[in-house]
Each structure stands twice: as C-alpha cells, then as structure tokens.
Amino acid sequence: MTVAPEPKGGPPPIEVRGLRKVFRQTTSGQSVVAIDRLDLTIAPREVVAIVGQTGCGKSTFFDLMIGLEAPSEGTLRIGDKSPHADFDHFRGKIATVFQQDRLLPWRSALDNAKLPLELIGLPEDEQRERALAWLNRLGLGQFTNAFPHELSGGMRQRVAIARAFSVQPDIMLADEAFGHLDEVTAAELRDTFLALARESGSTAILITHQLEEAIGVGDRIIVFGKSAKLLADIHVANWPKEQYALLREVIQATLQNNAPDPRLTQA
Amino acid sequence: MASNELREPVPSFAFPRQTLVSLLVFAAGWEVLSYLAPYLGIPPFAIPSLVKIAKSITVITPIDIVVTLARVIGALIASFVIGLTLAMAMYRSKTLDEYLHPMIRILMAVPVVSWILFAVLWFPGVEFRIGFVLVVVCGPVFLIDTIDAMRSVPRELRHMLQSFRPTTWQFFVKLMLPAIVPTIFTSWKVNISLAIRVVTIAELVGAVTGIGHQLSVAQELFSVADVFAWTIVLVALLFLLEGVVARVEARLLRWRP
C-alpha cells in the first residue's frame, strides 16, 4: 500500500517578527538571551535548513516553533495563529523528528508510528492502516511488531520519521535528526525525509550543524549567529552546484566571524 | 577466560534446592528441640512438634483466610487508586504538591499502632477501621513512589509527546502511566508485604474475624502450634500475592530487553 497525501489547502506561511527569547538561569538568576530580534518568513512548502554553531539558539527556535516555549517578545505566527497561544489548534498540523528517535520503549514500531494518530482521535482501523503504510514506505514492513530495542539506530529513526509523517502535517520539523547516524544511513534517511516532505507538500524546517547536510537539503539555508541573530538567508538555487564548495566556505566564514561574509552578496 | 564465562547459565525458575535444604534442617532442628524441650526446662506447649503444627494447619478455617485476603486486596486497590489519582494531581499542580507533600510525609511518619488506636477511637465499624488503617499506611507509599517515578520520566520523552499536543488525559495515559509501570509493580510488592503485616495487627487488636483475630485466639489458648499454623498461612498468602504480581509484571513488561 502506498501513502497518498490527503488533498489540503497547503501549509500556512510562517512569519517571525522581532522574536526574542530570554531565559533566566535557575542557579545564578542571570538572564540569557537565546534569540535576539529575529525576523524571518518561510513560505508554504519551502524546505529550509537552519545552521549555526552550538548555543546559537537553534533548539530554542525549534521549541518556539513547536509551541512548547512562549516568545519573550515579538511574534511567531503560522498563518494567523501562534503555535504557543493556540497550542491545540496545531494538533496534527506540526510534527517533529528529534535528534534521538525518542520512541516509547514499551510500544512496538507500529504502535509508536500510531501514537500521533491516537492523539488526534482517528478511528483505530485508520490509525493502523496509516501507520502500517508509512512503516512499509520506510522499509519497515517486516518489523512492525518489533520493540525499539530490537531495532538498529537507523531503523528506530525510520520509525520516528514514520511517526512524524503519519499525521500528514503542514509543518515538519527535524532537529539534527540525522546527526547521530553513520554517514551512509544519515544520507539515505535525509533523502527519504526530503522526498516525503516534498511529496506530502509540508513545509520542512531542518535544524543542523552540518553544512553538507544544509547545502544538500534546503531550498534555503538560514544561518544563525550567536544569540540567534540572522546572519544570512541563502537561496540555494542562486548557487550553481559547482559552487557548492565555495558556498560551504562562505557559510563557514560567516559562522566563524559571526557576521555575514561579503561573498554572500556576490551570489 | 573469566570464571563467569565458565558458569552454566542459571535457569530463570531454578528449583530452590538450597531453600529446601535449609527448611528441612530448620524443621529437623525444631523437631529435635520439641522432644528435648522438657529436659531443657522449656514448657512443652512452647515448642510444639511438627505433627501438632500440621494438625493445626488441617483445622484452619478458610473463611478467615478469605476475609483477611479480601481486606488486603480491597485496601490495596483503594490505596493504589487514591495514591495514583493524588500523584497525577500533584504532578500537574505545583501548588497542590507544595501543600500536600509535607502532609504525606507526616502521615508516613506516624506509627502503625497509632493509626490502629486512632481508628478504634474514631470509627465504630470494624471493617472501616481496618480499611482506614490499611489505606492510610499503604496509600502514601503508592503516592510517593508514583509521583517520584513520574518526575523521573525522561524529559526527551515528555518533550516528544508534548510536541504532538496531547490532552492532559492523553499525556498521562499514553506516556506517564506506561512509563511508571515498573515502579508501580515495585510499589505493589512493597505494599503487599506491608499490608499483610498491618492487617494482622489491626485484626489482632480490633476484629472478630480474619487471621489476626485467629492469632489472638491462639495466644489466649497458649497454642503455639496454632500461631505457627496461621503464621505459615500468612507467609504463604504473601508469596501467593507476590507471585500473582510477578506474573502480571512479567506479562506487562515483556517489552523490556
């Protein structure tokens, strides 16, 4: 069985305006700015890679996108709704693939893939059918009854991808989802993930610290500097494939200097 | 080669040969002592022979076993439901937790005998007294164990589930409760043992049925054989209940590597 994307109106655009997130450290009581005045627009169905060094606020941005954190200032809106303030509105509309698979160890692969479908209250038959279809699609048809500890790291991450896609979300988020896998498995899963995201018409946002992954993945690469300030917003289509090595160098220099590299404007 | 590698794998349900040997040695020692008691200046009733104990076992009244068992199981179920419900509420509400936690700690510090005396002084009905004592002793154990277990559920899993936007009920049913099942079973095992001991004392003090009451009768009759027989029943009950819990645990936790 194949999984045909359900007809839908398409994902809404994502608008970020003056977004600021400040945390207060429990021990010292000091304030830490994780995201500082971020402006960003992501069009429907775009595949965007966000790159940045450790501690630049990528994961905070991810939590704000999911709606688990509220902005300290500014707005983050998906369509006309806020993922935090209108939390329930986005049930079944935003899905996530995390760095670790985060499967529930007491559930089989099938039951893990069904989890978000149970949460949105689909009938049991439909849950099973959809989850099975996605597991088959990801090459796990023979392992639907296996528990997570019986699967390899790559297989577990496939289950996590099936779990995320099973709700056919408007927005798909991946937080360094392939970074912990070996290069071959990671490349294979990344390609599968992208193909599925494009086919299902979701807007996909991938957070990564690997430049090759960002260049190979996105329609756009957004480069975060320290305190999540936007250093560069690169449309990959503007760079011919033979200049990808240069693009990599330019992003690297941007990250190192925490300032946009002059060569970016030449593209 | 390490010595461990040379060892035969231990079967999961190996026949307890050592246990049997130690029990036989104890029984033989007891039997010898019962014959020697008069020569050692010990009153004969104090160390009855195994035959006498066996005779006492044959006249045990099953209704008292059923009554005690029903009191234990009923009170454990009530304690579990109350403990789990309060734990879920305290997990959700920090304010409720801040108010209730000190009270729970105080309840746990009160000796069982005090609870029994309070129950006798406060409540007229025997069943309610025993139920009250069992619930007030076992309930806080369930509560503290479950709330601690809920707080230990990995943040990554909580974060994952929350990202799919569950309702509060779904959050507990899909994640928290399955995640704390191992702790719940440990808590049940601890509480079964506790409940058997508490119910015996409660029945001994203020009931006219049950194993505790029969122990009280045996004491009045100076029948050590009867005390032995009822004690054997209590130990057997404890093992039986623990065995049932272990079977259910093995079934529910079969996902564990």
pLDDT one-digit tens code per residue, A34-92: 888 889 999 999 999 999 888 788 888 989 999 999 999 999 999 999 999 999 999 99
- Which A-chain residues 132-171 have CB contacts (< 8 A) with chain B? 147, 149, 167
Confidence (pLDDT) at B4: 40
Confidence (pLDDT) at B202: 92
Residue in A102, A106, A119 nearest the CB of B165: A119
Classify A79 in phi/psi space as left (phi over 0), alpha (psi -120 to 50) or beta. left
Give yes or no for A95 touching B (CB within 8 A).
Answer: yes
Using a CB-CB distance cutoff of 8 angstroms, which residues of chain B are in contact with residue A110? none
Query: What ranges do the domains of chain A cover?
Result: 14-93+169-261
Confidence (pLDDT) at A146: 95
Confidence (pLDDT) at B8: 44
Counting residues of chain A whose pLDDT is more than 90, the rounded percentage is 52
Over 90: is that where the pLDDT of B7 sits? Answer: no
Calculate how close chain A gets to B181, using CA atoms only, in Å.
10
A240-249, B30-39, B186-195, B218-227: which is most confident? B186-195
Architecture of the A14-93+169-261 domain: 3-Layer(aba) Sandwich (3.40)
The helix-helix angle for B224-252 and B181-206 (nearest 10°) equals: 160
Residues A228 and A217 sit within 8 Å (Cβ to Cβ) = no
Calculate how close chain A gets to B170, using CA atoms only, in Å.
7
A79 secondary structure, DSSP code: T
Calculate how close chain A gets to B178, using CA atoms only, in Å.
7
Calculate how close chain B gets to A94, using CA atoms only, in Å.
7
Burial of A70 (0-12, 13-18, 19+ CB in 10 A): middle
Over 90: is that where the pLDDT of A123 sits? Answer: yes
Confidence (pLDDT) at A102: 94
Per mean pLDDT, which range of A20-34, A158-172, A236-250, B7-21 is the poorest?
B7-21
* Residue in A62, A89, A93, A102 to test binding to B, most B beta-carbons within 10 Å: A102
A181 secondary structure, DSSP code: S
Using a CB-CB distance cutoff of 8 angstroms, which residues of chain B are in contact with residue A149? 255, 257
* HSE-CB for A256 with a 13 A CA cutoff: 8
Confidence (pLDDT) at A124: 95
Confidence (pLDDT) at B13: 52
More confident residue, B103 or A217: B103
Give yes or no for A177 touching B (CB within 8 A).
Answer: no
Confidence (pLDDT) at A143: 95
Using a CB-CB distance cutoff of 8 angstroms, which residues of chain B are in contact with residue A95? 163-164
Q: What is the mean pLDDT of chain B?
A: 90
Contact A106 B255 (CB under 8 A): yes
Longest dimension (CA), chain B: 78
**pLDDT one-digit tens code per residue, B24-40:** 999 999 999 999 988 88
Q: For A263-267, what is the mean pLDDT? A: 70
Give yes or no for B255 touching A (CB within 8 A).
Answer: yes
Contact A102 B175 (CB under 8 A): no
Number of other CB atoms surrounding residue B245 within 10 Å: 17
Complex ipTM? 0.88
Over 50: is that where the pLDDT of A4 sits? Answer: no
Residue in A88, A96, A104 nearest the CB of B157: A104
Give yes or no for B169 touching A (CB within 8 A).
Answer: no
Give yes or no for B178 touching A (CB within 8 A).
Answer: yes
Contact B163 A68 (CB under 8 A): yes
Give yes or no for A239 touching B (CB within 8 A).
Answer: no
> Would you place residue A266 in the very low, low, confident or very high pLDDT band (cuts 50, 70, 90)?
low
Confidence (pLDDT) at B38: 86
Q: What is the mean pLDDT of chain A?
A: 88
Confidence (pLDDT) at B15: 58
CA B102 to the chain's CA centroid: 24
CA-to-CA distance for B237 and B245, rounded, in angstroms?
A: 12
Calculate how close chain A gets to B253, using CA atoms only, in Å.
8
Over 90: is that where the pLDDT of A136 sits? Answer: yes
Confidence (pLDDT) at B10: 45
Contact B255 A107 (CB under 8 A): yes
Using a CB-CB distance cutoff of 8 angstroms, which residues of chain B are in contact with residue A105? 255-256
Q: For A123-136, what is the mean pLDDT? A: 95
Confidence (pLDDT) at A129: 96
Counting residues of chain B whose pLDDT is more than 90, the rounded percentage is 77
Contact B164 A88 (CB under 8 A): no
Residues B76 and B244 sit within 8 Å (Cβ to Cβ) = no
A58-62, B4-8, B10-14, B92-96: which is most confident? B92-96
Calculate how close chain A gets to B90, using CA atoms only, in Å.
21
Confidence (pLDDT) at A9: 66
- Per DSSP, the three-state class of A222 is strand
CA-to-CA distance for A102 and A157, rounded, in angstroms?
A: 9
Give yes or no for A84 touching B (CB within 8 A).
Answer: no
Give yes or no for A68 touching B (CB within 8 A).
Answer: yes
Say what the pTM is.
Answer: 0.83
Over 50: is that where the pLDDT of A2 sits? Answer: no
**Residue ranges of domains in chain B, CATH in brackets:** 61-252 (1.10.3720.10)
Q: For B92-115, what is the mean pLDDT? A: 94
Using a CB-CB distance cutoff of 8 angstroms, which residues of chain A are in contact with residue B161? 115
Over 90: is that where the pLDDT of B74 sits? Answer: yes
Residue in A100, A106, A116 nearest the CB of B164: A116
Per mean pLDDT, which range of A220-234, B113-127, B139-153, B208-222 is the poorest?
A220-234
Residue in B164, B179, B256 nearest the CB of A115: B164
Confidence (pLDDT) at A211: 86
Residues 6+ apart with CB under 8 A from A111: A104
Per mean pLDDT, which range of A238-242, B66-70, B210-214 is the poorest?
A238-242
Contact A87 B166 (CB under 8 A): no
